[in-house]
Amino acid sequence: GESVGLHLPTLSVQEGDNSIINCAYSNSASDYFIWYKQESGKGPQFIIDIRSNMDKRQGQRVTVLLNKTVKHLSLQIAATQPGDSAVYFCAENLSGTSYGKLTFGQGTILTVHP
Amino acid sequence: DTEVTQTPKHLVMGMTNKKSLKCEQHMGHRAMYWYKQKAKKPPELMFVYSYEKLSINESVPSRFSPECPNSSLLNLHLHALQPEDSALYLCATRRNSGGTQETQYFGPGTRLLVL
């Protein structure tokens, strides 16, 4: 399953499928990007990050892809599980911004059906 | 240990009350943040403290008053709030070693309801 940033904020997948969550970021000068997972009633939880000098980074079951040409970020979750159901936010840090100020995307709701 | 703790977990207050939210971290991080988050929206930055000094105030109304008594603690004092201030209040921390490419780690939040 795949979401498209602001226009399709909900993604429903079956357990075991791969999920792709997309994010269109706003500033070509952003140099650092973070994906957060937020479960209901909890604070955002860091998943994975990527610097602008990279185009791919892998973690455990997650991969982040960065396409600076089109200012696009994606989060791929392999073998999605019901515990992955949450809201996923991308965040960008503008290069030179003082104190690490982040700009968040609007979020995508991921629902995983058993 | 990447834990940020916040107390209380839930808070209900009247518009004439004074209350405080607390945030604590022991990671040695020197940047601390307050965010406000409404339902189904991303976090909105309110305040940033860097080395215990207020560095950013995102035009937050004066009924919200932040305080950073030491490098491990961050408070948010609340007075004369409005019902529209009801939200999840999140604390976050960051190492602040000089670069900008550092992760912010969030606490679990305080769910505030103003009656």
Three-class secondary structure of residue B105 per DSSP: strand
Query: Which tops the pLDDT comparison, A96 or A85?
Result: A85
Query: Do the Cβ atoms of A32 and B100 come within 8 Å?
Result: yes
pLDDT of residue A97: 65
Chain A residues touching B101 at Cβ < 8 A:
31-32, 51, 93
Residue B90: closest CA among B41, B33, B42:
B33
Three-state DSSP state, A7: helix
**pLDDT computed for residue A90 by the predictor:** 96
Residue percentage of chain B with pLDDT more than 70? 97
Nearest to A32 among B41, B88, B101 (CB): B101
H or E, element range at B10: strand B10-13
Q: For residue A58, what pLDDT is reported?
A: 97
Contact B43, B56 (CB under 8 A): no
pLDDT over 70 at A4, yes or no: no
The predicted model gives A21-42 an average pLDDT of: 93
pLDDT tens by residue, B8-40: 999 999 999 999 999 999 999 999 999 999 988
Mean pLDDT value of segment A54-59:
97
CA distance A89 to A22: 10
Choose the closest CB to A43 out of B45, B96, B106: B106
Q: Are B46 and B92 in contact (CB under 8 A)?
A: no
In angstroms, what separates the C-alpha of B41 from chain A's closest C-alpha?
Answer: 6
Closest by CA to B88, choosing from B106, B67, B69, is B106
How does the average pLDDT of chain B come out, rounded?
Answer: 94
Q: What is the pLDDT of residues A78-89, one digit of tens each?
A: 999 999 999 999
* Distance, first Cα to last Cα, chain A: 15
Tell me if B42 and A31 make a contact (CB, 8 A cut-off). Answer: no
Tell me the C-alpha to C-alpha distance, in Å, between residue A59 and each of A40, A64, A74, B83.
23, 8, 13, 41
Mean pLDDT score across all residues of chain A: 90
pLDDT recorded at residue A3: 46
Residue in chain B nearest A39 by alpha carbon? B108
Backbone angles phi, psi at B13, to 5 degrees: -145, 150
Q: What is the pLDDT of residue B9?
A: 97
A49 contacts in chain B (CB < 8 Å): 103
What's the half-sphere exposure (Cβ side, CA atoms, 13 Å) at B90?
24
Window B:28-67, CB contacts with A under 8 Å: 31, 40-43, 45, 48, 50, 55-56
